[in-house]
A and B are shown apart, each in its own frame.
Chain A
Amino acid sequence: MERVGAGGGRRHPGRLERLIGPENYRSLRGIVSTPSSVAGLVLLAVFGVVALAAPLICPPPDPSDPYHIPRDGFSPHPRPMMSPWRRNPPPLPVWWKPIMKSDSWVHVLGTASGQWDILYGVVWGTRTAFKVGILITLVAVSIGLVVGSLAAFYGGWVDNLLMRTVDIFMTLPFLMAALIMAAILVPRMGRSIVPATIALTAFGWMTYARLIRGDILSVKEREYVLAARVVGVPDLRILVRHILPNAIFPTFVFASMDIGSCVLSFAGLSFLGVGTEVGYADWGQLLSFSRSWLTNLAEYWYIVVWPGLFLVLFCLSWNLIGDALRDTLDPRLRAAR
């Protein structure tokens, strides 16, 4: 771990700081002290609560398949907010009766074309967003970690080969490549969130590989690594225990902002009709329903505004946190603190 003297050595490091290192501790403190990132954290916490409490806010009609948005008929005309539920209403949520004093469930946020309930889609879509964003980023970071570490650690022709592979993958425009993969995988796997997730992962790991390779290259020549080599520590152990903990923080910064853009890309794929099946609780899905009513958007504004708002705020929260993290890492700004 880095020497404590980097911070001036004026105070005794606390237990947390000793556990994760002064670099990481300073960045963590940066997140909780910047007003914008605190706002981001609060927003994220709200989304987390909504995602966890989804079965309470909108009880699913079929608990074994909660991600299927319930439909109130098949009419293509969207119905306004607070219109009553006519056919097969899902179970009444516990908080409805005390507040509204009535026994009938309504479409709180209206319905989309095809009578899909918007509130249900938006609330369970929060769960989808967390699932998809975290899963894609985790897998992409893992792949990028392995590739970048191998390239940086061994150098030479391994580095050249791996980085040229990264270049080739990066030549394909991201969305186009994701469209291809989704188009190839959907006939084999059926429509679900899996093809789009695989597609986004397969073309999302390259940036991490490059980032990690750069960071490891800068850490590789430090004295403690040379010392470990001299002592005879095996390669993998040096990589995992000595190099990675010190090189990995910029990757976390990027990953935190990437979760937001992963969710955006996934929503984009759903919007284009290549992502999830029709009726799956996903924000992009809901937004794709508005495509059939472009001329009447002023009247049916709620189809666009509610899912759009959730999407923007979700991404904004991750970006605020990532932005604060990036500011704490910037050495020029650090001196001013």
Chain B
Amino acid sequence: MTGYIVRRLLLVPLLLLGVTVLIFGMLQFLSPVERSALYVRDVPHTEAALDGIIKRYGLDDPPHIQYWHWLVGRKDSVSGERVGGILRGDLGYSRVGSQPVADLIRQRFPATLELALWSVGPIIVVGVWLGILAAVHHNGWFDQLARVFSIVGWSFPVFVFGLMVLMLFYAKLGWFPPGRMSDWAAGVVFSEGFTRFTGLLTIDGLLNGRLDVSLDVLRHLVLPVITLSYLNWALLLRVTRSSMLETLGQEYVVTARAKGLRESVVVNRHARPNALIPVATLAGFTVIQLLNGVVITETVFNYPGIGSAAATAASQLDVVTVLGFALFNGAILVVTNLGVDVMYAVIDPRVRLA
């Protein structure tokens, strides 16, 4: 078991290194002049100034030297101090956000985290429950309905569903607005008296004694959570259903029934725990996907998370910001992947022997 974890842990830095190489490789598609426009805040007024900037930031050094400097930073020839470097936490300057990329991420990530945390519960609990129900009533009306729901849900793009849901619940009924909070709540949150303990506004509202702020944020969360849930339910339902069907056909289930056990005991105590093993990995991947900031959902609902920031940056061709986000997401993915694999090994002893 420890051997498995150690082996996987050793792979993590290699994968991260590979990701940085890939991202850096994509940056190299641009010429030094174009890259100077991306990285440099001071605008050159003459050709000579441009050359000076290229020399100062080392934009025409050989790629491996540039990569090394990009990773660990360099000594700025003008000011003499160390600047830059991914490993030192400097991800570059974001034109779109008017602040360093790292600060932009720090500012936006709590919103995405809040959305992810509020979505995980409904997605996994309801999706698994629906799948088990469909498998237990195999070929019944619920099963057929669930299969239709699953395949239609898989074909529905996120933004169409989001727009239709907005059309119904916001434009027509006015119940759940887009965005993260109403203007009056924003006035409260950004005022002096409000301390952000966690950055998650639903919890912070409670900790600051402002229940109305928490409820307002929750009200704005309803539509994005429903949109994310619907699409993930479709997938989770299908996987749970097929896994459960396969488990219900196993011999130990037949034995359990032959022993005279009640059907509910057979399903809940014998079949379900084993059926949930592949579902657990899928649930892990769903969490990863949520943490990475669901770009399109956040854009549709104007939700200020890292996903919508990345989309704005991409549409305005701010490559540095997008690359910084990609690096951040890649790091999250590699680490969370490791967590999912370890969890998988904990649940299923057969994996540890592999």
* A residues neighboring B (CB under 8 Å): 36, 164-165, 167-169, 171-173, 175-177, 179-188, 260, 264, 267-268, 271-274, 287, 290-291, 294-299, 301, 304-305, 308, 311-312, 315-316, 319-320, 323, 332
- Asked if A260 contacts B159 (CB within 8 A), the reply is no
Contact mask B283-325 → A, CB, 8 Å, 1/0? 0000001001001100110000000001101110111001101
What separation, in Å, do the CA atoms of A153 and B348 have in the docked complex?
A: 31
How far does the Cβ of A283 sit from chain B's closest Cβ, in whole Å? 9
Q: Would A176 and B326 be within 8 Å (CB), given that A167-B15, A268-B157, A315-B155 are in contact?
A: yes
Stretch at the interface among B79-87, B164-172, B195-203, B270-278: B164-172
Q: Would A172 and B164 be within 8 Å (CB), given that A272-B314, A312-B157, A320-B151 are in contact?
A: no
- Asked if B326 contacts A177 (CB within 8 A), the reply is yes
How far does the Cβ of B155 sit from chain A's closest Cβ, in whole Å? 4
How far does the Cβ of B335 sit from chain A's closest Cβ, in whole Å? 11
- Asked if A287 contacts B315 (CB within 8 A), the reply is no
Instruction: List 6 A-B residue pairs with CB atoms under 8 Å apart, sorted by A's residue number.
Output: A173-B326, A272-B296, A272-B314, A297-B170, A304-B164, A319-B151
Closest to A179 in B: B314
Which of B159, B164, B249, B289 is within 8 Å of A271, CB to CB? B159
B333 within 8 A of A: yes
How far does the Cβ of B324 sit from chain A's closest Cβ, in whole Å? 10
- Asked if B26 contacts A168 (CB within 8 A), the reply is no
What separation, in Å, do the CA atoms of A164 and B17 have in the docked complex?
A: 12
Closest to B21 in A: A168
Which of A173, A180, A260 is within 8 Å of B333, CB to CB? A173
- Asked if A304 contacts B154 (CB within 8 A), the reply is no
Closest to B313 in A: A183
B34 within 8 A of A: yes
Closest to A185 in B: B29
What separation, in Å, do the CA atoms of A73 and B296 have in the docked complex?
A: 30
Query: Chain B: interface secondary structure?
Result: helix
How far does the Cβ of B23 sit from chain A's closest Cβ, in whole Å? 8
How far does the Cβ of A89 sit from chain B's closest Cβ, in whole Å? 29
Closest to B299 in A: A272
How far does the Cβ of B56 sit from chain A's closest Cβ, in whole Å? 23
Q: Which residues of A contact B155 (CB under 8 A)?
A: 260, 264, 312, 315-316, 319
- Asked if A272 contacts B163 (CB within 8 A), the reply is no
Q: Which residues of A contact B15 (CB under 8 A)?
A: 167-168, 171
Q: Which residues of A contact B23 (CB under 8 A)?
A: 172, 180
- Asked if A172 contacts B330 (CB within 8 A), the reply is yes
Q: Would A304 and B151 be within 8 Å (CB), given that A175-B295, A271-B296, A274-B314 are in contact?
A: no
B329 within 8 A of A: yes
- Asked if A180 contacts B158 (CB within 8 A), the reply is no
- Asked if A315 contacts B157 (CB within 8 A), the reply is yes
Q: Which residues of B contact A319 (CB under 8 A)?
A: 151, 154-155
- Asked if B322 contacts A183 (CB within 8 A), the reply is yes
What separation, in Å, do the CA atoms of A185 and B300 have in the docked complex?
A: 24
Q: Which residues of B contact A167 (CB under 8 A)?
A: 15, 18
How far does the Cβ of A166 sit from chain B's closest Cβ, in whole Å? 11
A-B pairs, 4 with minimum CB distance: A168-B18, A273-B315, A179-B314, A315-B155
B160 within 8 A of A: yes
Sample of 15 further A-B pairs with CB below 8 A, known A171-B19, A297-B171: A169-B22, A171-B15, A171-B334, A173-B292, A176-B310, A176-B326, A179-B311, A179-B314, A179-B322, A182-B314, A267-B159, A294-B178, A297-B170, A315-B156, A319-B151
How far does the Cβ of B58 sit from chain A's closest Cβ, in whole Å? 20
B30 within 8 A of A: yes
Q: Which residues of A contact B166 (CB under 8 A)?
A: 294, 297
